[in-house]
Amino acid sequence: MHTTDNISVKNIWSILSAVCDPEVPVLSVIDLGIIRDVKIIPANGEEGIEVVITPTYSGCPAMDVIRMNIRMELLQHGYKNVQITTVLSPAWTTDWMTDSGKQKLKDFGIAPPNPKQQVCNTQLFAEDEAVQCPHCQSYNTRRISEFGSTACKALFQCNDCQEPFDYFKCH
């Protein structure tokens, strides 16, 4: 267990890499890019930690669990003075996800968001955006539903291998 005598921002980032998204457990909060900043702050006469987060969606139901998991992980490492601040602007974007996080999604069977140069407007993506099947790599896919297992994903099906899959929506 660490003491808070010498709080290291680098160490906190490392600890946060063990906090998983409850809706997509193969991704850490670092992979998702929802950790905006880690700061050392004065708290009750001692040094404390402020973790700044931005939800993937402003109404994301997983954020309460994520806040609790961040606090619990830091407590397990001996950090008691933890402040978690939610910042909504600028809004989170899939551009903030790490490349390794996008690969983890694909390996898990969820199509990662397409690069930014693709059409990311949700009104247009069904007709214009080519979504690659994470199972057989085919682009011969179709949207089944605007929403998949969570609001941040759409449900697709591959026309070649016939497998259904979630697509992490670009935004």
CATH, residue 51: 3.30.300.130
Same structural domain for residues 107 and 158?
yes
Same structural domain for residues 154 and 109?
yes
Give the model's confidence band at 4: pLDDT under 50 very low, under 70 low, under 90 confident, else very high: very low
Same structural domain for residues 26 and 70?
yes
pLDDT at 82 over 60: yes
Average pLDDT for 27-39: 96
Residue 49 inside a domain? The answer is yes
* Parent domain of 52: 4-86
The β-bridge partners of 82 are: 49
Same structural domain for residues 75 and 119?
no
Strand order in the sheet with 141-145: 110-111, 164-168, 153-158, 141-145
Same structural domain for residues 22 and 77?
yes
Residue 95 inside a domain? The answer is no
Residue type, 144: I
Measured distance CA(113)–CA(54) in Å, rounded:
18
Average pLDDT for 66-79: 96
CA angle at residue 38 from 37 to 40, to 5 degrees?
Answer: 140
Count the Cβ atoms, other than its own, within 10 Å of residue 127. Answer: 8
Same structural domain for residues 107 and 61?
no
**Listed residues 42, 63, 86: the one ending a domain:** 86
The whole-model pTM stands at 0.80
Measured distance CA(17)–CA(2) in Å, rounded:
16
Measured distance CA(165)–CA(153) in Å, rounded:
10
Residue 28 inside a domain? The answer is yes
Same structural domain for residues 65 and 107?
no
Measured distance CA(34)–CA(93) in Å, rounded:
9
Total domains in the chain come to 2
Same structural domain for residues 146 and 78?
no
